[in-house]
Structures are given as structure tokens and as C-alpha cells.
Chain A
Amino acid sequence: MKSLLIIAASAMLALALWYAAALAIVPGPWPVPPFDPSAMGLDEILLAFGHMPRGVIALLAGAALGLSGALLQAVLRNPVADPTTLGISSGAQLALVMATIHAPGLLDQGRWPVAMAGAGAAAALVMAIGARRAFAPVTMVIAGMLVAMTASAIATAVTLARGEYLLSLVIWNGGSLVQQDWSGVGKLSLVLLICAAGAAVLARPLRVLSLGAAGATALGMNVGLVRFAVLVLAVVLAATVSAELGLIGFVGLAAPALARSLGARSVEQVLALAPLLGALILSVCDGLVLTVAGLSGEMFPTGALTGLIGGPLLLWLLMRLRGSTPPGTEAAEGLAPRIARPGRALLGLTALLLALALLLVWIGRLPQGWAVLDWPSFRAFLPLRLPRLVAAAAAGALLALSGAILQRMTANPLASPEVMGVAGGASIGYAATLFLFAAPGNGLRMIGTMLGGALALALVASYARRRDMPPERVLLAGIAVSSMAAALLSAVMATGSAQSWQVLAWLSGSSSTVGWGQAVLLCLLALVLLALALRAARWLAILPLGAEVSLALGLPLDRARLGLIALAGLATGAATLLVGPVSFVGLMAPHLARRIGFARASDQVLGAVLLGAILMTAADFGARMAGFPYELPLGLFASLLGAPWLIWLMMRTRR
């Protein structure tokens, strides 16, 4: 009864918002179908071919996403699955961006096949990773969100590398429900109808599958076939919405969750209720956007609003998610080697870093090809290139330091500032500084960014203190914070104010504007924080053994965690100021250090710092050269280096 009331109330709200916006366009008598444009005024055309289909498509797209999410959650037995968290929508977006830039001809046949291919590829990748981890819910979502982050990074890089400085186009890429005619409604309703019929047929097998794959097989079901069919339906639905409207996040996550909290228990009930709720959610969101847009006259993509809901929702769901993970499936990997003489290896890495820096200052790219500088031009270029090289290396070292601390603190090889939301928090801090102060200088920006990073990490870590919270969930909490930050940033961008351009410049920013002052400051900070981390080496040795052992050994757990979190937050914030919020150096460098064989805490920290500096120096070179004469954002290039590494890492089987 209560649930019916809620549904009715939100339906009324959606309708009222839409109606108010419609009245704002045409107050008087409305045109009735069939619409004849030649007999209508401009306002009436706007209403009949813009506003009306927009209202309908919000319902349809919401329903499609709700159904897609419900199907994914049922088939994966994973309450945090949806097209966004599994990277499916981002795969579709990437395919569309690639096609737009490199093969516009492909889009002649409509956007749908391209989106479908991208979504299918992303889904296949995430499923392949998931299959190796027994489809453990949290691992799947981590893989999915990383694929999504990677896909959007590639899309951005591809756009920028063409010199078409249309980053905003990529960031905005969709999520807007603006319609020009009824064709989108037609396509979407057809797909929705077919997929709903398919879902109805598959409802009973899905119910059997809710026992688990082994149980279902024992009952004589072809589990593989059912899974495949359901996934195809879910991917088709998500890809269609992506093709028509762009990225609309988290509706597929929210709708089934809401359905369950309203009392839907069985698979059939959730499948029936989720599309309805999805339609209502998206309609209400779009109604709110219309209202705000009516007041301020700005166009704000609805997808950005649903993205804002996504982060908190995911956090809330995570608290309630328990017991669904088979033990041991979330653990990472086999034994890493251990080298006998870490000191020599560290010296070798230092030498490598210096040699690389020297080499990269010396060679460069000219319009005709590659060039090695002669002595006079070397001396001329040195003051230009050296500061940014030093700054990049310091930033890499800082990120790696933060990653090494986080990985040791959480005993989780996937922990890193990027994944744990520190970078996201840092970017919120950056944006907040821009808005709070009239003309913040570099120092103020740095403080703001560092504070933001530390705060985000504190949020995630306070969450991690719950005793029954395994590390994977903490990671997911961090990812939720990251996605919230991303949504917030695109909302800031949508305001179109002076600050939003600064944020944009920073997001796409590179190290090209770095002067000696900033470079030296970063370098000093890296050295100080490194020294502090080395002082805490004993904590870093004990903490990977978990809270129980740490407590039993009398380690001041709260103090140690707080101190290390502050350290990692500061390091990330400082580096993020230069690199921007995306890069995987903080994840890669400590992991690489461990794989090389730096086993002890202090060795791993030192090795990671050196490797981070090397990686970022190389990334800086790549960012300058890859899109020559245009410069790619440094962090973006670093994340492109990191992406294949990360996917490989997750694909590896345990020995």
C-alpha cells in the first residue's frame, strides 16, 4: 500500500514537472495528434516535436535502463550491477566517439549498430574478467567501473589527439534528453517491447538461476545459454539508450534497488517493477532539469544529474550487501618474487630514472620527424623542458607513494589513489577552491586540492572501519566517490561560468605551464612525504596482516591509519594538481615494484616512488609527442599506459 502511494506520488511529481515546463512553452490550447508542422507555430512545433517526445523518451529510456539493470542484477546475482557499473554504457559511448572521429561513414546506418558493438565489447571484457573470479559481485563492478573510466579516458584522448579541442563534447557526450522529433521514441519503444517480451520468457529460468549456477545445472538448466540470452537483452537495452541519448548513469542501479526496498522479492516482481520505477526516476530527474533550465536558461544534461545520484546510492547499497561473495574469490593473485639484494635494484632504478630524464630532454619531435638536439639548442631548451620533467617525475613519485601506502594499509593490491576516490576528492577540492576564492594562486589551489584528496580518503576510510567490510568493498566505495566527483565536475562544467573553463583547462591540463617554483615545491614535498613514509615502515609492514594482528601487536591502529591516510591524501592532492584526476600511476607503480621483487615495506615504497617517477616522466614525453603538435593531458596519457596493465592484472588467474 505504502509502495503504491510512493509510486503514485512520484508519477504525479514527474507529470507536474513536465506539465509546468510544457505550459511555459505553449500556455494556450495544445496541438493534438496527428501533428502537422505546416499548420503550427514555432512554439507549437517546439511542444509537439521537442517537449512531448522528450517526456515520452524519458519514460522509455528509464524503463529500458531499469529493465537492463534488473536483468543484469538477476543473472549475475549481484545487487550492484547495472549498465553503468559494468562499463557497458561507457563502451557504447567510446564506440560512438571513435566512429564520429575516425569513421563517420559507419554512422550512416544509424548510431545503433556502433553503440551495440561498443557495448557488447565492453560487456564481453567485463564478463571475461568476472568469469575468472566466479562472478564475484564486487570484483565485477570494480572491473566494470575501471573499464568505464578507461573507455572515457580513451575517448577524451582520441578527441584531443585530433587537435579538435572539443573536450567538453566528450564530457557532455550525451545524457541530454533533448529531442527533435518522434523517431527516437519509435526506435526505443520497439526495442523496449521486444526486450520486455524476451525478459518475460526468461523470467522463470532466471528464478531457477537465483539458486546459483550449480543448483540450476543440477535442475537440468543450460546455465550458459540462459546467462548469454539475458546478457544480450541487457546489453541491447543499454546500447540503445546510449545510442539515442548518451550516457545516463545509475538508473539501472537505482530502479531494481528501489523495487526491492518497496517489497518486490521474487525475480519476476523485480523484473516487472524495475522498468516502471526506472521510468519514474528518469522522468522526475528530467523534470527537475527542465525546471532548473527554465529558471536559468542553461542546458544541463539529465545524465549528469543521475550520475550525481549514483555515487551515494552505490555507497548505500554496499552497506547492505553482504554474504553474497563466495569466500576466496575476491583475493588477488599468486606469489610475487622476492629479490635478494633490493639495494642494488633500487640503485639501478635511480640510474634508469636519471638516464631517461637526460634522454628525454635531449630528443624531441619536429614537424619533419625526430631530432636530437645539438649542444646550443640543448642549452636553450633545458630551462623549458627541465622544470616540467622534474615536476612530472615528482608527481609520479607522489602518486606512487600514495598508492604504496594505500596498498599496504588495506592489504589490497588494487588500492590506489585513483581507485579510492582520492583523485576524485582532489578534483572537487580544486573546483571548490576556484569557486570559493576570487583568484586563487597556485599555493591556494594546491592546498585546496590536497584537502579535497585527504577528505575523500577520510570518508572512504571511515567507511572502511566497519569491521565486516572487506577491502574490495572499500575499493568500490572509493570508486563511488570518484564517480560522484566526476558527476559533480560535469555539473560544474555545465554552468558555463568562468570557473568552469578553468576546471576544463585543468582537466585537459598538462605540465606545459609548470615553472621552476612549482617543480621545486613538488619535488620537496615528494622528498618530505617519502621520508615520513619511510619512518612509518614498521606500520606498513604490519598493517597488511590486517586489523586483528595489528591490534594484537599493540599497534595504535586508529592513529596509524589516520596518519597514513593524511600522508596519502596530501601526496595525491599535490600530484593531482599537476596531473589531473585521471592516471593509474598510483596503482601501477607499487604493484610493479612488488612484482619486481621489492618485498619489504621500505623497499617497496622506495621502488614504487622511483618507478612512479619513471612512468610519469615517460608519460610526459608521450603526452608531448603522441599527438604532436598538440599536447595530450599528462594524466590522460598516463592512464592510457595504465589501462592495459590494469585489465591484464584483473584477467590473470590465481596460481
Chain B
Amino acid sequence: MSEPLFTMRGLCVDVPGRRLLDGVDLTLPRGQVVALIGHNGSGKSTLLKTLARQIAFSAGEVRFAGRGLTDWAARDFARALAFMPQNTPPAEGMTVRELVALGRYPWHGALGRFGRDDHAAVQAALDECAITPLSERLVDTLSGGERQRAWLAMMVAQEAGTLLLDEPISALDIAHQVEVLSLVRRMCHEQNRSAVVVLHEVNMAARFCDHVVALKGGRLALQGSPADLMRPEALAQVYGLPMQVLRCENGTPVAIPA
């Protein structure tokens, strides 16, 4: 349990003509919900995709669960880590149950039998994300929040200990934002999973996450607890904009532009 989830040393990601991540040194803790925040183009999505092995890094070193990121075999990696892209693709003609069952691919492979374990895992995932009543519906007919829950269920069925989510709430209304993030938080805290979530909304990050990492211009700007983030100086540093922090009646801090 002492092993950190991710360790990065001097991580750089380049695209032709531009450096997206510039020498990031970072250690992400296990068993927590980690928020990745930052302004547009700060490199937060790039970092997440690098950790998910969706894009290759050009320099530095990344270790996931004690092993070099590139040393993992594709199947083992998918059994250990699940990734949800920012825009979940349309699942043409697929029912929710079929979508969730795709999460079993890393376990049964292209030709293996879809066995009892697989069925059980799919059902458990549907239950955990509370979409069993929707399981025979077509994914494309679901509302935004329901669809996001279906994709989360697919990640659960993958039985991976680590979830990487790229802006999972950006297209949702506020009620569904709370619903989805609560689910992610519950999935981590109750089932001992770890999650790294890219978020735009700093207040949501502070409310639902245990640990916050802020990027700015491809470099690490700040990391710490939500309380460390919710200070006017820290927020001003991250967003380059004067911010003020208000207190709600129950003591929750709320950040707004000053």
C-alpha cells in the first residue's frame, strides 16, 4: 500500500513544434480521488492521456504501480487501469449490457469464452453504477448522466484498480455532475480503487477529490489537499486571475473570480 500509484520524473510530451508537458515531477497517491486541474491548454488532458498510455511521452520516466509505464503488456495494463476519454464515442446499436461487457475484453481476449466470471462482473458493475434497470436500453438513447454511468460501469467491469477519467462531467448539467462525481468518489472509497480525474470546475474538484494537482503551461503549478488549493493566492497562481474564496454556511469554501 506504500507504493505510490504513479511516479513521474522529468516527464516531457512533445508534438511537432510544441512542448505540451515540460519536465513534470509528480507522485500521485494510491486509493484516492486525484483531480487534475488547470487552465485550457495547461496540459492536464495530455498528462492524463500519457498516464493512460494513449499518447507516448518523449522524455522522462513514468512508473505505474512500481513498474515502468512502457513495460506493461497491453492486456495486463488494461486489467490494472481503465481509461475514459473526454468524448465517449457513440456506441452504435449497442445495449448498455453489451457495452459494459466490452470491459471484460482484457480478461477473455479476442477468442476466449465469455464465462461465468465475466457475467458476474458485468452484473456487479451494472449494480454498482445503479444502471441495471437500463441494461437492455440502447446506449445512444440514454441521457448524458446515464450514459456516463454506463461507461463508468464498463470501467468497473474491467476490474481495474485505477480509473483515469478525462473531464467526465463537462457535458452534464449540475445535478448529473454531482451524481457522477459522487459515484466516482464512492467507487474509490468503498472499493479501494484509485482515480485520476481531469476537471474544469475548481469547486467540484475541491468538493469531491482528496488530492489536487494543478498544471500551468505544461508544468506543475501546485499540488496538495483541496484546502491547499482553495486559497486566493494559490488559485491566482493556477489560473493567472485574481480569485476570492467565499465560505458557505457549512464552511465549504467556494472560489469565484474576484
Contact = CB atoms under 8 A, between A and B. Distances in A.
Given A338-B138, A552-B54, A552-B78, A546 B110 contact: no
B6 interface: no
A554 B92 contact: no
B103 A553 contact: yes
Interface string B192-206: 000000000000000
Given A545-B91, A600-B98, A554 B106 contact: yes
Most central of A535, A548, A599 by chain B CB within 10 Å? A548
B89 A411 contact: yes
B79 interface: yes
B89 A552 contact: no
B92 A551 contact: no
Interface in B42-61: 52-55
Contact of B93 (A336, A467, A554, A556): A336
A52 interface: no
Contact of A542 (B55, B102, B140, B158): B102
B111 to A, nearest CB: 7
Nearest to A604: B93
Contacts of A594: 92-93
B89 A554 contact: no
Contacts of B77: 554
Nearest to A554: B78
B83 A544 contact: no
B105 A548 contact: no
B74 interface: yes
Contacts, number: 77
A538 interface: yes
Given A338-B138, A539-B110, A552 B83 contact: yes
Contacts of B74: 551, 554-556
A548 B98 contact: no
A213 interface: no
Contacts of B158: 553
A535 B111 contact: yes
Contact of A541 (B55, B88, B102, B141): B102
Interface string B126-151: 00000000000010110000000000
Interface in A533-591: 535-536, 538-539, 541-542, 544-546, 548-549, 551-556, 560
Interface residues of A, number: 27
Interface string A589-603: 000001000011000
Nearest to A599: B93
B82 interface: yes
Contacts of B102: 541-542, 545, 553
A335 interface: yes
Contacts of A560: 110
A266 to B, nearest CB: 25
Contacts of A538: 105, 109-111
Nearest to A563: B110
Interface in B104-125: 105-106, 109-111
User: Which of A538, A549, A554, A599 counts the most chain B CB atoms within 10 A?
Assistant: A554
B85 interface: yes
Contacts of B53: 551
A631 B105 CA distance: 50
B75 interface: yes
B256 interface: no
Contacts of B246: none
Nearest to A550: B105
Contacts of B90: 331
B180 to A, nearest CB: 18
A545 to B, nearest CB: 5
B174 interface: no
Contact of B54 (A336, A541, A551): A551
A336 B111 CA distance: 28
A48 to B, nearest CB: 55
Chain B CB count within 10 A is highest, among A336, A551, A552, A556, for A552
Contacts of B106: 553-554
B94 interface: yes
B85 A546 contact: yes
A501 B74 CA distance: 52
A338 B93 contact: yes
Nearest to B164: A552
A430 to B, nearest CB: 33
Contacts of A411: 89, 92
Nearest to B114: A538
A335 B138 contact: yes
B82 A335 contact: no
Contacts of B52: 551-552
Nearest to A546: B89
B105 A554 contact: yes
Nearest to A603: B93
B105 A553 contact: yes
Contacts of A553: 78, 102-103, 105-106, 158
A554 B75 contact: yes
B164 to A, nearest CB: 8
A536 B111 CA distance: 8
A536 B52 CA distance: 25
Contacts of B76: 554
Contacts of B110: 535-536, 538-539, 560
A638 to B, nearest CB: 26
Given A549-B85, A599-B92, 10 more contacts: A538-B110, A538-B111, A541-B94, A542-B105, A544-B91, A548-B54, A549-B89, A551-B54, A553-B102, A594-B93
29 contacts: A335-B138, A336-B92, A336-B93, A338-B95, A338-B138, A411-B89, A411-B92, A467-B55, A538-B111, A542-B105, A544-B92, A546-B89, A548-B54, A548-B83, A549-B85, A551-B52, A551-B53, A552-B78, A552-B82, A552-B84, A553-B102, A553-B103, A553-B106, A553-B158, A554-B79, A560-B110, A594-B92, A594-B93, A599-B94
Interface of B: 52-55, 74-79, 82-85, 88-95, 98, 102-103, 105-106, 109-111, 138, 140-141, 158
Interface of A: 331, 335-336, 338, 411, 467, 535-536, 538-539, 541-542, 544-546, 548-549, 551-556, 560, 594, 599-600
